Chain A
Amino acid sequence: MSKLNNKPNSVRNKSSIAILITAAVLMLLISGIQQNYARKQIRNNLERNAEMELIIKAIDVRHSLEDVSLALRNRSWEFEQYLPYPDSLFAVTRRIVEENPNFAGCCIAMVPNYYSEKGRLFEPYTLRRGEVIETCQLASEEHDYSINKNFILAAENDSSFWSEPYHDEDDPKVTLITYTFPIYDASGDMAAIVGIDLSTEWIGKLLNSRHMFPSSYNLLLSGEGRLIYRPDGEIKHKDVDQIMGLVNDSTAKHTVSASGLVTIFSFVDWEDHTKGSVFYYTPKSLSPWRIAVINYNDEVFGPLIKMGWINLLLTLAGLLILAFIIQHSAKNLSELQQANLEREHIESELNIARNIQMSMVPKSDTSALREDCNIVGLLEPARMVGGDLYSYFIRDEKLFFCIGDVSGKGVPAALVMAVANALFRSVSAHEANPARIMHALNEIGCQRNEQNMFATFFIGVLDLPTGKLRYCNAGHEKPFAIGKEIKLLPAKPHLPLGVMDDMIYTAQETVLQPSESLFLYTDGLTEAKNESHELFGLKRIEKGLQDCIENESITPEKLIQTMTHRVNGFVDGAEQSDDLTLLAIQYTPQEKPLILYENLTLNNKVSEISKLNAFVQSATAALNMEKGLANQLKLAVEEAVTNVIDYAYPNGTEGYIDITIEADESRIRFILRDSGAEFDPTAVSKADTTLSIDERPIGGLGVLLVRNLMDSINYERTEGKNILRLEKMYKFAVH
């Protein structure tokens, strides 16, 4: 069993695992593709946004730088106006610094030897130191501005420009840049180079005013790759130098954005290994400065990664649910299969039970075998098996029949029915009195009747030679007798079988007239319901039987057919609520003209046997029987008569035995009548012919020989007489 069960289980598990793996792979694939696509989208967006940010910020820076240069240009007249007065230039520088809080200092570096009275170098200078503004002459031989790169550049190019960033000498943390521009005297000659020192802090403020991501920051690099603004305080990462190095390294692996404007590269922070990307470009308006924005992957892709994790968790949860569902449904499926299997089992067993049950009821009517009776039965269980039964068989020229209805339906009723059927047959094998058969059935039925099952039962024993019907009813519906008219057989109700073990059943008698019929049924017929819950009832049965009489056909076939048709029509598709059983019997004795009728009366003495034998011999001779058959008949009759002498009359009693021989052309019949004690040789158990010499009793062979030699024997006890009929078929031949 376990072996059988394991295999489908493992197959089921395997297929479940395969489904799960497939689902997992599919879900991971989908989420991978999604992630990849989203990453690309984010990267593209980042690129576009960075580009936009850089352009906007470049313009912002440009604007603020222009504001500075414009402001200075607008005041260039002041420089030119005060040129002739060298000392007034100090005030000019001071005023400019005072008026522009952004300015850290202002110097006017005169072209060397411009003022002969001031020596070769002259440079009025105002410096902002915190709240204090100081003005001085800065130039000296040690501080020779004429060799200063910015001065030379401005002088040579004759143009304004922004210097490379440099550290403030007073405060190295402060980065300064200088805007340098030339001023000219009235004659149009270059007189001096003005330098405005600006702290880059305000540029930083501009740059880092808004960002795509919290940790993002901007860098502004000079043409030489130095930081114009170093956003130390705001940056958590210490990778500025590394990034600057990469930006300045032309050999490093950089890519260019789709528009070709922005250069991009990735980096991994040396210290904390965070990954990031740098976008930078050189705006024309700020050239050669470069502006860069640094974004960190964890922030750029953070939501995506988070989404990825959520996806993964959801996938896992989904898989778990799927696994659960598969397992559950597989379990359900297997349970369903199991249940189906079991139901099939039960059904097949019920089918077998039904077949067994159906095989218990006699299959063919007796008309094929017998001329003197015709019997047809019908059993239709409401379920696969039912508690109704009918049975019949012929023994010793008697038709034994019964119909019964075991309480309840289905298997338990069927079991009781099977037992009742078997009992009926086994008891009837030795007993021809229906009351005694009923009594035996009841006795056994009451024993161990823990389920309190009971059965209504009707037993009939029809003596075929005489048409005498003995019957006994145990709570069953009264049968109909159908002759020229219909009547219910008067039957004492009695209690059903299995109710009271000391119930006394009595038999009743009637004589069936030739071609009279009996119709028996169970309550499945009277209580058949139509859809409006009406019962079929006795009236409809009577009507059906009446119609059969009017149609001059009361054969069992016709009766069953009519009644089945009527009840089916009545029920009309409503569910059959109870087992339905019908049994119809017609008595059809055949009277043939006798060609021989002889009678002999003997005393109950053994010595009379010779007379008997001579009597039989003369009869068989008159019928031209061959010697073998004649001797068989002689032996049978002798044995039967010997039995009567031995058993019917106790020792010493005198009595007679009357023997009648009657024969038609195909049958010879010996009728033995005596008025001795009741003795039914047909009820004698068959002698065991297989016993050994020692076991073999002397005697008990008579009935055995009679049974073997004759075609049928039949016993009746009527009016205080034992009547035994022996019959043999033969063919009369005229010699």
Chain B
Amino acid sequence: MNTTITEKDGKYTVSLEGELDTAHALEVEQAMQPLHDLSGKDITIDCTQLDYIASSGLRILLALLKSAKANGNKVVLSNLNDEIKDVFKMTGFIDLFEIK
């Protein structure tokens, strides 16, 4: 499981790669911690390489969304595969996030 954060033109992109299961949740959460303190920066989470996500992974995304919203930032998810999209649908997360 790889988590890569890049900054470009004041915008952040998080690339998630691999399977975000409960075992890797803590690791990803820690990797994304810096994003919680950003102000005025929009965040795009690129899920092109993300194969799998468990509820622990969803929790990380939800936590990020909450803090970004408090800071006035946008969180955009991009390139979700169908299985992950289904999980988002099941949990109602599809309505919470802006998905590209």
Contacts and interface: CB of A to CB of B under 8 A. Distances in A.
Interface string B54-72: 1110110011011001000
A701 B23 contact: no
Given A639-B54, A642-B56, A696-B96, A613 B62 contact: no
A693 B23 contact: no
Given A606-B26, A704-B90, A613 B59 contact: no
A631 interface: yes
A634 interface: yes
B59 A698 contact: yes
A698 B63 contact: yes
Interface in A582-626: 606-610, 613
A634 B55 contact: no
Interface string A669-695: 000000000000000000111111110
Contact of A702 (B55, B62, B83, B96): B55
Given A606-B26, A689-B92, A694 B55 contact: no
A635 B22 contact: no
A705 interface: yes
Contacts of A689: 90-92
Interface residues of B, number: 27
B17 interface: no
Contact of A609 (B23, B87, B90): B23
A477 interface: no
A303 interface: no
A657 to B, nearest CB: 13
Contacts of A701: 55, 58-59, 91
Contact of B19 (A606, A613, A687, A690): A613
Contact of B90 (A628, A691, A705): A705
A688 B91 CA distance: 9
Contacts of A694: 66, 69
Nearest to B66: A693
A606 B52 contact: no
A690 B26 contact: no
A463 interface: no
B96 A610 contact: no
Interface residues of A, number: 31
A696 B62 contact: yes
A123 interface: no
A708 interface: yes
Contacts of B90: 689, 704-705, 708-709
A638 interface: yes
A634 B92 contact: no
A642 B20 CA distance: 14
Chain A facing B: main interface SS: helix
Which of B25, B54, B83, B96 has the most chain A CB atoms closer than 10 A to its own CB? B54
A705 B66 contact: no
Contacts of B23: 606-610, 613
Nearest to B26: A606
A693 B96 contact: yes
B54 A631 contact: no
B42 interface: no
A233 interface: no
A239 B21 CA distance: 141
A638 B54 contact: yes
A609 B26 CA distance: 12
A172 B81 CA distance: 155
A188 interface: no
A701 B21 CA distance: 14
Contacts of A635: 52, 54, 87
Contacts of A607: 23
Contacts of A687: 91
Nearest to A692: B96
B89 to A, nearest CB: 9
A699 interface: yes
Nearest to A702: B55
Contact of B91 (A613, A634, A704): A704
A606 B87 CA distance: 21
A692 B58 CA distance: 15
Contacts of A634: 52
B22 A642 contact: yes
Interface string B1-30: 000000000000000000101111110000
A689 B52 CA distance: 20
A631 B82 CA distance: 11
Nearest to B92: A689
Nearest to B25: A606
B88 to A, nearest CB: 10
Nearest to A691: B92
A610 B26 CA distance: 13
Contacts of A691: 92
Interface string B31-50: 00000000000000000000
The 5 A-B pairs with the shortest beta carbon distances in the complex, nearest first, are A689-B92, A609-B23, A701-B55, A610-B23, A609-B22
Given A613-B19, A702-B55, A705-B87, 10 more contacts: A606-B26, A607-B23, A609-B22, A610-B24, A634-B52, A635-B54, A690-B95, A693-B65, A705-B90, A708-B90
Interface of A: 606-610, 613, 628, 631-632, 634-635, 638-639, 642, 687-694, 696, 698-699, 701-702, 704-705, 708-709
24 contacts: A607-B23, A610-B23, A613-B21, A613-B23, A628-B82, A628-B83, A631-B52, A635-B52, A635-B87, A638-B21, A638-B22, A642-B54, A687-B91, A689-B90, A690-B92, A690-B95, A691-B92, A693-B96, A698-B62, A698-B63, A699-B59, A701-B58, A702-B55, A704-B90
